[in-house]
Amino acid sequence: MNYQAIQKKLIKKLLLTKIVEVAFFLFFATISLQLVNGQSKKKPNIVFIVIDDLNDFPEGFYGHPQAKTPHIKALGNSGVRFKNAYSNNPMCGPSRASLFTGVYPHNSSHFWMKPWLENDVLINTKTIMEKFKESGYYVVGSGKVLHHNKLDVWTEYKYKADYSPFVYAGDYNSEKKPISHPDVPAPFRTNRIVDGLNMGGGFIDGSFGPMKNFGKQTFNGERLWWVYGGFRSGKELKYINEENRDLTPDELNAEWAHDKLLELAEKQNQKPFFLSVGFLRPHTPLIVPQKYFDMYPLDSIKLVNILPRDKDDTFLHMVDQFETKKRRTRSVEMFENLIASYENPLEGLKRFTQAYLACVSAVDDNVGKVISAINNSSLKDNTIIILTSDHGWTMGQKDHIYKNSLWEESTRVPLIIRVPSISAPNSIVNHPVSLIDLYPTMLELAGINNETKKNNKGHELDGYSLVPFIKNPLTTNWDGPKGALSVVYSSDINQYIPQNHHYSIVTKNFRYIVYNTGQEELYDRISDPDEHVNLIYKNSHPETKYLRDLIKSITYPMIPQGISLVENK
């Protein structure tokens, strides 16, 4: 072979080697880029944990100093905590409808407790579950996820929502309602749920206390026993003692989620999955096993920062939320009934706070059971975990106990997002965000497009992906608004008139509330984080114009009536 032929052969071999090297480089560069963008070749699994009525008490958030939530704390430390996350409507049904369709209440006119399935906008918009299902995901759930469930949006669904344990007196009758915990005195035990929740009776809101062995104890001469509701309606829930009892509905859901996750981890070459589990506590009735009450001795309970006459410069109690029914403000009624039920008003508040904290610790254990299945299996490296609540709960601030108000404890929710290979442990985001942002966040993390309208009657996503914050908690490069918007229903008369409800906007520095009467509240969140001083109770404040304009920019072209009234003075 001559020299020229040898030279050509060497050049050809060198070129082939370089081509292989370039190919390998491009391959690994592409994989690296996909990982950076959260788009690994195998789509990520998503586990979405939704907790009912959980305010910011858990450890790792603003919190209650006595709260014991080691599992939520550990999850927060392993991912990103959004410490200023808010509900868009602090009431179970409309909050979850907005979250799972990605549509603001003012864009759907779904503000209250009617089923979202009857709303033309929402039923023609794909839920998170429908979007992931059509994108090839195995979609499975259990517990209270949607307030009004629709089974065909899921591939598989286990247990429907169950608010028990309930106390029952006498022989079981499907037409007969449970009663409040027998240790709760009147008038609090007689509290009623507002019409429309289809639960009725004080056994929901007017009931709190530990599970106990009733023995021979009776109520009005009838024997007492524990009963399941929901998916086990009418079935006795056995309670002999802490070592000999049936699981609560939340514990059954935690056990189901744990076992389902381990089952999914063992399957090879399966579809990616979206799994959502909903826990009821700390929704009322605040009833959990005795061991959780033992964690919070009554004589050591610390109340939240409640100031005398703090309600005097606020307006929720003055606006009639239920004009057609002529009802009092629900949260004021609960507060007044609670303190009237005990000789020492502080005792009622302490007992209620003890019960709420007990429920928070109970749900924390259930969260821990779900997380352990992920952390101790092959799922850990490719499973996104998101934990949040539908809204918060006031604990006596401003003489209110309930949800459905526009202050911090009612609207703020814990939010944790952990994304393998993207989120850094123990990250904190302080920018105000809201539940409306979760749908687009999940879609971006899964590499799925954001087309969610089924037809022209539906509505596009209103929120903005939180992925920029997940990658860099301090980023200023986010397309979302400067504040988080919340709304509270005003009355049945206004149910289909978005302008005529009550609105709030939260920025890093301020909370601004405007009622449909034109009355306003403004709080400096830096100097007054507990929102004790309404800065514009009797005088104007220069910050209000910016905040009104911010509400307008989010709700445009709808302008809340209260803002219009204020500016037309």
| Same domain assignment for residues 268 and 130 | yes
114 or 31, greater pLDDT: 114
Per-residue pLDDT tens over the stretch 259-304 = 999 999 998 678 999 999 999 999 999 999 999 999 999 999 999 9
Q: Is the pLDDT of residue 177 over 70?
A: yes
pLDDT of residue 521: 97
pLDDT of residue 243: 95
pLDDT of residue 78: 98
Q: Is the pLDDT of residue 71 over 90?
A: yes
Per-residue pLDDT tens over the stretch 27-66 = 334 434 444 444 446 899 999 999 999 999 999 999 899 9
| Same domain assignment for residues 117 and 225 | no
pLDDT of residue 10: 47
pLDDT of residue 270: 85
Euclidean distance between CA atoms 110 and 1, whole angstroms: 84
Per-residue pLDDT tens over the stretch 313-339 = 999 998 864 454 455 688 999 999 999
Q: What CATH number does residue 119 fall under?
A: 3.40.720.10
Decide if 499 is inside a domain. Answer: no
Number of domains in the chain: 2
Range(s) of the domain holding residue 190: 166-241
In this prediction, residue 135 has a pLDDT band, given cuts at 50, 70 and 90, of very high
pLDDT of residue 4: 53
Euclidean distance between CA atoms 96 and 283, whole angstroms: 14
What is the DSSP pairing of strand 394-395 with strand 273-279? unpaired
| Same domain assignment for residues 292 and 421 | yes
Beta-carbon count within 10 A of 124 CB: 15
- CB-neighbour burial class of residue 352 (10 A; exposed 0-12, middle 13-18, buried 19+): buried
Q: How far does CA 120 lie from the centroid of its chain? A: 24
pLDDT of residue 27: 37
Decide if 566 is inside a domain. Answer: no
Token digits of residue 60: 């790792």
| Same domain assignment for residues 287 and 206 | no
pLDDT of residue 128: 98
Q: Which residue among 179, 207, 241 closes a domain? A: 241
| Same domain assignment for residues 331 and 413 | yes
Euclidean distance between CA atoms 247 and 243, whole angstroms: 11
Q: Is the pLDDT of residue 21 over 50?
A: no
CB-CB contact of 72 with 387 (8 Å): yes
Element (H, E) at 415: strand 412-418
Euclidean distance between CA atoms 194 and 200, whole angstroms: 7
Per-residue pLDDT tens over the stretch 468-512 = 999 999 999 999 999 999 999 998 889 899 999 999 999 999 999
Instruction: Fill in the DSSP letter of residue 142.
Output: E
Token digits of residue 498: 């978005």
pLDDT of residue 42: 85
pTM: 0.91
pLDDT of residue 316: 94
| Same domain assignment for residues 310 and 431 | yes
Q: Is the pLDDT of residue 247 over 60?
A: yes
Out of 11-15, 133-137, 189-193, 333-337, give the one with best mean pLDDT: 133-137
Average pLDDT over the chain reads 90
| Same domain assignment for residues 213 and 324 | no
pLDDT of residue 33: 41
Q: Which residue among 206, 241, 276 closes a domain? A: 241
pLDDT of residue 38: 40
Decide if 513 is inside a domain. Answer: no
Decide if 297 is inside a domain. Answer: yes
In this prediction, residue 233 has a pLDDT band, given cuts at 50, 70 and 90, of confident
pLDDT of residue 232: 75
Q: Is the pLDDT of residue 13 over 60?
A: no
pLDDT of residue 12: 52
pLDDT of residue 152: 96
Distance spanning both ends of the chain, measured CA to CA: 100
In this prediction, residue 190 has a pLDDT band, given cuts at 50, 70 and 90, of confident
Q: What is the mean pLDDT of residues 55-83?
A: 97
pLDDT of residue 9: 52
Q: Is the pLDDT of residue 341 over 50?
A: yes
Q: Is the pLDDT of residue 432 over 90?
A: yes
